[in-house]
Structure 1
Amino acid sequence: MYILLITNHGTIVRSSLGVLQVIDRVGVDLEVRLASKIKGKGVFARKAIAEDNVIFEEPALVGAQHTANRADALVCSRCFTFIGSIGMQIAHRLLSMRSEGLGLHPSFACLCSATLSMDLSCLWSGVAELPHSDRYPLPKLVTCLGGCTDTVYCSEECAAANWAAHHRLLCSGPRSQPSRISADAIRRFKEHADETNDAFHIAAQVVAGTLLRAEELLSNGFAPEAAGSSSERNWAALQRAWRPYAAAWKAHWWECVAIPDDVTDAACFRSDLHELAGDSLELLKEFLYDERFPALFHLDVYGSIMGIFELNNLGIYVASPVEDYFELCHAEDGGLSEEEQKLTHLITRPLLDSLGESYGAGCEGSAFYALQSCCNHSCAPNAHAFKRAHIDTDGSATILARKPIAPGEEVCLSYIDEDAPYHDRRAALADYGFTCECDKCVSEAAAPGKATA
């Protein structure tokens, strides 16, 4: 079991399935290798990279939209692309507001009574189309292969990929495998995650995906020479299936979460998190436990999976096309004639008023990226995660060069606000379990009075 808890900076870094598959898929000229005994793994450029150039783009290995954000944005459950249509997105948001007891703007009620085609159900179904929304085409909504309503997709390919990766063990739909799952147990687990910490959804993806890979290895005759008994083969298969996460920095979740400012009893806070993780794991085991792989369902391992997200995760953000749509409709230089603009305003203004100030809310979530997680920290980073407007329209991580990067130079990101004072940066990095020794920190620590600024 403890092998799963160790961050392996040696051969596993070089052979990690997740990292190597990403490098091969995106075609980047990078190398993941040992940076130092203290830093562990690191990402290094094999060729020169110019400032502002894309270093790599990487889809999430696992990830999920935040529970609270689901009402704001209808996106693909795998790649987080906005789906349906502009009308469907707006209807989704307004119907969610209505279900939460939030009233719609009076002008929209008047519009619905006067123009039946503008009813929300018509917008959702596509019977009614908003003017000029064809300028922002979105992929058609595709439903889950198992028939659940928890996930939707932008394509058959994304639906099939998510199903194969982990969702077929997490699906409560009528077409899922009844011999392996209990719909009620799955719902209880998901409800608990929604109410407590939605990162448990991602932890379940890790467990389910690892389980499926181990099962596939065994079904294909995986049998290392040193593994004689069936239990030894099972353990070897589990270790191999765990490889995409072997290089990720790990710590127990309840030990690495930053203590909130308003918490006075740190020990009690961490104890509560430990108990919360235990409750989540017990709910997960109700429908997913496999006696061949007991280590995967140990609380220490589950806690380290949650710790991976705390220490390595990158927030998902995808800008909403709804914001672009309303800007077109209400901009003076949007390219519409005066007559077109009057007609458009008549229809879209009530919608905009009902949506309120957050009309352009994007997709927000958390994810684990195999290659990005190998990038070490620097308070003077040469790279950063950045979403390019109208180019990066899904949940992939896009890493850009902040300055020229030479061949052999390590690609570093900042985990914190690198512009904060030295001691503030030091305190923030303590939650990650290390002290930064980058040139900036060394220089500021040595400068009289500067480190305390």
Structure 2
Amino acid sequence: MSWYIKQVDDGKGYGLFAKQDITCGDVILEEEPLVCSQFSWNKLYKYRACDYCLKSLETAEEMCRRLAQNPSINLPHPECCKAKPETNVHCLNCEEVYCSMACREKAYNEYHKTLCPSSDQCDKSALEVLDETWRGFHFPPETASIQMIMRILARIKQEDKKEEFIAAIERFCHISTNNVEQIAHKLLGEQFSNQISVLRDQLKSALFDESVQHWFTTDGFKNIFALLGTNQQGIGSSALSVWVLNCDELNLQESDRLDLDSCIDDLYQELNNVAGTFLNCEGAGLYVTQSKCNHSCDPNAEVSYLYNNHRLTLKATKDLNQDEEITISYLSECLQSRGKITRQEFLRENYLFNCQCNKCMTLSEIDDVTSDEDYDEKDDDDNNNNLLEN
């Protein structure tokens, strides 16, 4: 183990630190989530992922044809696609799909026994209404899912050691009471005065459990929502990405390499024209150890999903010295390249802190985006929303 957790003195709570010298490129840790789920809109628009581990279930070619709305796409080097649809299995009682029998069994034992439409453990029509209500409040790009809370509650109902699981959830970082409503509404997009109460009442009708009855109070529901907002890690899987990476490893003649690279460039352009940047099966998860990583605008580590499922890999992007804090960026690649004012505004709105990393402390506030760049980003968001209209 190359890391350890300790209290940070500057008010950030806990942090992750290097137990020894770490070299750039080293894997610091790998971790599976305590709980995870696919985003609601992502699933509705037929991004096929394993209900348990979020592994992309389509072949790369199937994914491209769906995303580009072009059934004539044929990818070269099919051997580079590692997806195996023939191993996919359904729940024995419903249409939920898993990448393997192992994932199906884990899902059933952890939460699906409760959430399966065939069971009598909860009101399934109420769950469907709740999911539709959530989508009505929260549009892509998604940053959370009511499915996460539903899955947590289902786990509580099925857990033999309820107190331990509840304690594990409640040990994730909490924000101050004064900021709870702000971050809860931020997750929902546009602010409506009744959003939280509507979702809480519908969730209570479907999955109330006495062991966490405090979560169903007005303040308790906002707290659990805010806990997800400040701790969950986005998850992305893609058979297409795996195919591209494996194509990069092919030993080809230079002319063949140029042809393949050109083919991939043209493919991504076609996908971008139809689906924008919505290419992956997307969801979110709660990771006990990774959640201790604090933010830096100039991080020394990054999160990736090397196994095309929910198993997270934290890899060093710089050399780290023993006892140095391991940091990641909470910003997208685009936002990381923006100026201090823009970065800090995003972090305040979404994570409720003023960044004091070395980059923010050494750069002048006049180093910021231009209005043209802001408009470009807005245009990108508009293009992403075109997927909903197709």
Structure 2 length normalisation: TM-score? 0.72
- Mapped contact 2:54–2:283 kept (Cα < 8 A): no
Q: Is the 8 A contact 1:55 1:400 kept in 2?
A: yes
2:328 paired residue number: 413
Q: CA deviation at 1:51?
A: 0.7
1:243 to 167, 181, 185: 167
**Partner residue, 1:452:** 366
AA matched with 1:63:
C
State the match for 1:203 in structure 2.
Answer: 149
Aligned residues, how many?
338
| Deviation for aligned residue 1:30 | 2.0
For 1:75, which of 33, 49, 52 is the aligned residue?
49
The amino acid across from 2:54 in the alignment is: F
Equivalent residue for 1:369?
287
Gaps of 5+ in 1: 1-27, 98-103, 112-128, 218-236, 264-268, 346-351, 445-449
Change (3 A) 1:278 1:322: same
- Rounded to whole Å, the distance in 2 between the matches of 1:144 and 1:190 is 20
1:302-333 CA-partner distances (Å, limit 9, x unpaired): 222221232222222223338838x97xx9x6
Secondary structure in structure 1 of the residue aligned to 2:224: helix
Output one character per residue of 1:387-412: Cα deviation in whole Å (capped at 9) or x when no partner.
5xxx4422332222121112222111
Deviations 1:55-97 (A, max 9, x none): 1222232222233333353121121212265576568x38xx9
1:200-230 Cα distance to aligned partner (Å, 9 max, x none): 11121122223433xx23xxxxxxxxxxxxx
CA distance in 2, matches of 1:315, 1:38: 24
Task: Calculate percent identity across the aligned residue pairs.
Answer: 23
Give yes or no for contact 2:235–2:284 (8 Å, CA) kept in 1. Answer: yes
Q: What letter is aligned with 1:167?
A: H
Letter in 1 for 2:342: D
Match for 1:313 among 232, 243, 247? 232
Task: Say whether the 8 Å CA contact 1:90–1:322 is kept in structure 2.
Answer: no
> Which string of whole-angstrom CA distances, capped at 9 and with x for unpartnered residues, describes residues 365-419 of structure 1?
22222222111112332112245xxx44223322221211122221111223344
Which residue matches 1:141? 88
Equivalent in the alignment of 2:132: 191
Quickly say closer, same or farther: Cα 1:277–1:68, change in 2 above 3 A: same
Q: Cα distance 1:37–1:131, how it changes in 2: closer, same or farther (>3 A)? A: closer
Determine helix, strand or coil for the equivalent of 1:44: strand
Change beyond 3 A, Cα 1:290–1:245: closer
SS at match of 2:194: helix
TM value normalised by structure 1: 0.63
Change (3 A) 1:290 1:41: same
Give the 3 Å change call, closer, same or farther, for CA 334–203 of structure 1 in structure 2: farther
Which residue number corresponds to residue 156 of structure 1? 101
Shift in CA distance, 296/363, structure 1 to aligned 2, threshold 3 Å = same
Larger Rg: 1
**Do 2:80 and 2:243's aligned partners in 1 also have CA atoms closer than 8 Å?**
no
Tell me the CA shift for residue 429 of structure 1.
Answer: 2.4
2:315 aligned partner = 400
CA distance in structure 2 between the partners assigned to 1:257 and 1:296 by the alignment: 14
C-alpha RMSD of matched pairs (Å): 3.9
Q: Distance in 2 between matches of 1:132 and 1:436?
A: 45
How far did residue 143 of structure 1 move? 1.1
Distance 1:205 1:385 in 2: 23
**Structure 1 position 166 matched with structure 2 position 111:** yes
Conserved? CA contact 2:57–2:83, under 8 Å: yes
The superposition leaves residues 9-47 of structure 1 with CA deviations (integer Å, 9 ceiling, x where unpaired) of xxxxxxxxxxxxxxxxxxx43222211251111111212
The residue aligned with 2:371 is none
Give 3-state SS (helix, strand or coil) of 1:166's partner. helix
Look up the match of 2:345: 427
Tell me the equivalent position of 1:30.
3
User: Which amino acid in 2 is paired with 1:426?
Assistant: Q
